[in-house]
Amino acid sequence: MFSTKFAVEGLSESISYELGQFGIKVVLIEPGFIKTNFSNAMAIAKKVQDPNSPYSQMMQRIQANLSKMAKNASPFDVVSKAILEAVTTKSLNLRYLAGKDVETWAASKKTMSDTEFHDIIQGITR
């Protein structure tokens, strides 16, 4: 869940450094939890659902936390507004955050130690 987003973020940021010299701009639209049918459409591997799987309890906790996050999810139009801002601004940013939760996480990451932030994020999977 987090690793894929982090990988795309890291790749995008690194290619922005490489391609900037050629006038190519890279933009990250980073949505938080958005009100969609994502949770309803999510497919969970059968092995993870097996109570004997070491991932079973973790996945149950993640699903419970996703349900909580869905209650406070941002409306889908915050993403389209972030995209519109990115394509119409004269002073382009690398990142455009879409949603109050991701704005809070980004602010926390800037002010907390790596250990403190790790504990918060890990709390989602515990």
Q: How does pLDDT run across 56-65, given as a tens digit for each residue?
A: 887 778 778 7
| pLDDT score at 39 | 64
Confidence bin at 67 (pLDDT 50/70/90)? confident
- Domain 2-125: CATH superfamily is NAD(P)-binding Rossmann-like Domain (3.40.50.720)
For residue 18, pLDDT over 90 is answered with yes
CA distance 54 to 37: 27
Q: Are 32 and 105 in contact (CB under 8 A)?
A: yes
Q: Which residue has the higher pLDDT, 126 or 80?
A: 80
For residue 1, pLDDT over 60 is answered with no
| pLDDT score at 7 | 92
Every domain of the chain and the residues it spans: 2-125
Instruction: Tell me the residue type at 89.
Output: T
Nearest Cα residue to 124 out of 73, 71, 64, 70: 64
CA distance 10 to 73: 25
| pLDDT score at 20 | 94
The 8-class DSSP code of residue 73 comes to: P
Nearest Cα residue to 32 out of 102, 116, 123, 113: 102
Q: What are the counts of helices (DSSP H) followed by strands (DSSP E) for the chain?
A: 7, 2
For residue 100, pLDDT over 70 is answered with yes
For residue 88, pLDDT over 90 is answered with yes
Residues 6+ apart with CB under 8 A from 94: 13, 16, 26, 27, 28
CA distance 72 to 35: 9
For residue 89, pLDDT over 80 is answered with yes
